[in-house]
A and B are shown apart, each in its own frame.
With several copies, the nearest count.
Chain A
Amino acid sequence: MEKLIYLDNAATTKTAPEVVEAMLPYFTEHFGNPSSVYGFAAANKEVITKQRDIIAGVLGAKNNEIYFTAGGTESDNWALIATAEAYASKGKHIITSKIEHHAVLHTCEYLEKRGYEVTYLDVDENGLVRPEDVEAAIRPDTILISIMFANNEIGSIQPIQEIGKIARAHGVLFHTDAVQAFAQIPINVDECCIDMLSASGHKLNGPKGIGFLYIRKGVKIRSFIHGGAQERKRRAGTENVPGIVGLGKAVELAAASMEERAGKESGLRDYLIGRIEAEIPYCRLNGDREKRLPNNVNFSFQFIEGESLLIMLDMKGICASSGSACTSGSLDPSHVLLAIGLPHEIAHGSLRMTLGADTTKEDLDYTVDCLKEIVAQLRSMSPLYEDFVKKQEKNK
């Protein structure tokens, strides 16, 4: 393939060359097990501490509140399952939203099978959780509120500070899945009253297979993965030293460039949204226009189906994603798009484009040009569009 325009940075990102470079010595040179006594390997323990410092600094947290995991999914599982277990004597009720990532939703379903009760809050048509709904859902037996910082499909940024304050006021633990938000937008765990926070390396130009869970000092959850005494006895398994070093480097780079990147990306994002709205009929922007991740664009195009759209874009060298059922092998389209009230057939025709640091205006111009053409082509072969046009003609 000649041209490659990568607009799927919410799915995963390219590992930054600086990150790979930082990792490399830890494979073949400083490969020792950080738990070892001899200096050659024990030095890796300090290396890990350094990465923890970097991450804690970005969140306004303390070094020993950061625990490395194998990724966002494990972090989410840990936060939910270990809290459920640790606080079961207080209650078995958990509050979350309908637009969480499956890492949270499927873990909630698992907990439901094990005797927990979960309230799945609705969101408004822009994909925002209403803080008053959170407060209304709190019961005496509520032990955890888990609301994502920003949504991975439609980019809506949740009112985390309000929710955090409500949770704190009611003495309920508050977890946020910040996999899409961390190092993209500012987060301070104290200001937002966050007790636990999940993040994943590969969403921020770090490596895959590494992430972390922030756990506020005092939160009494235990391990999710049991075994050796790593991570202050809370997360067993030989430390993934290169992964941790890569994550630390990625966070360092992302935090340093956050403001500038966000400015640039949100400018491009709004340019892309503007051109699509101006030039392609029968489309709808999904997610909030203002409270939106700087790099997220999500549209539904009526009468066409997302997977076809993706394949056609792919043929033009454009990488994007869709909430269409066909892309996941399930029959239902994205639960997020349904939660904001889209009918099934509109949800099927959704397209997510998530920009990265390298994305240029030229890339987006090319993308819109292709998109216009493809949407028209797919509509020309769509029975839904045929019916729509005929109906319009009749009504004239």
Chain B
Amino acid sequence: MYTEKVMDHFQHPRNVGEIENASGVGTVGNAKCGDIMRIYLDIDENQIIRDVKFKTFGCGAAVATSSMATELVKGKNIQEAMQVTNKAVMEALDGLPPVKVHCSLLAEEAIHAALWDYAEKNGIKIEGLTKPKSDIHEDEEEEEEY
């Protein structure tokens, strides 16, 4: 079902944990749908992401996308971090099964939510960043296509 990369990131998730007094924290998803991701960012004065940690409640893909997303933003500046889309996460993982694509969206959203928190705390505006939806599943509805 999952690629080797996904399995690797699931089995050995990078950057699991918390950051005390983080520059920004974002939590997305909801327990109802079975995925919650929380991202902690430690951002320095040059707007470089010095450290990043995550915690995730969810399936294998949810864990792997969180892990990969943290890897992709680590050491980047916030502008670069904004470029880490769900597509980028998926590509870095060599793809996801169709039913799991929403996990990668969640990872993107979690990064954005943490950046939003950072921006709010510091009273700055990040280009292209909008307030995170509280539930990214809301507008998803599966309709089988034959």
Contacts and interface: CB of A to CB of B under 8 A. Distances in A.
A–B contact (CB under 8 angstroms):
yes
B33 A331 contact: yes
A37 B7 CA distance: 13
A305 interface: yes
Interface in B1-36: 1, 7, 10-11, 13, 16, 18, 27, 31-36
A381 B7 CA distance: 16
B45 to A, nearest CB: 28
Interface residues of A, number: 37
A219 B63 contact: no
A382 B55 contact: yes
Nearest to B38: A383
A344 B34 contact: yes
B132 interface: no
Contacts of A395: none
A233 B55 CA distance: 33
Interface string A364-382: 0000000000000000111
Contacts of A217: 146
Given A311-B10, A381-B16, A383-B27, A304 B57 contact: yes
A234 B145 CA distance: 11
Interface in A300-326: 303-308, 311, 315, 324-326
Interface stretch (B71-79, B114-122, B123-131, B136-144): B136-144
A4 interface: no
B62 interface: yes
A381 B58 CA distance: 10
Counting chain B CB atoms within 10 Å of each CB, the highest count among A37, A233, A331, A344 belongs to A331
A220 B54 CA distance: 43
A222 to B, nearest CB: 9
B1 A37 contact: yes
Counting chain A CB atoms within 10 Å of each CB, the highest count among B1, B11, B27 belongs to B1
Contacts of B146: 215, 217-220, 232, 234
Interface of B: 1, 7, 10-11, 13, 16, 18, 27, 31-38, 54-63, 99-100, 137, 140, 142, 144, 146
30 contacts: A37-B1, A42-B1, A45-B1, A219-B146, A233-B144, A304-B57, A305-B57, A306-B59, A308-B10, A308-B58, A308-B60, A311-B10, A324-B34, A324-B59, A326-B34, A326-B60, A326-B62, A329-B99, A329-B142, A344-B31, A344-B32, A344-B34, A345-B31, A381-B54, A382-B57, A383-B27, A383-B36, A383-B56, A383-B57, A384-B36
Given A307-B58, A344-B33, A383-B37, 12 more contacts: A219-B146, A220-B146, A303-B57, A305-B35, A305-B62, A308-B62, A311-B60, A325-B34, A331-B34, A344-B32, A348-B31, A385-B57
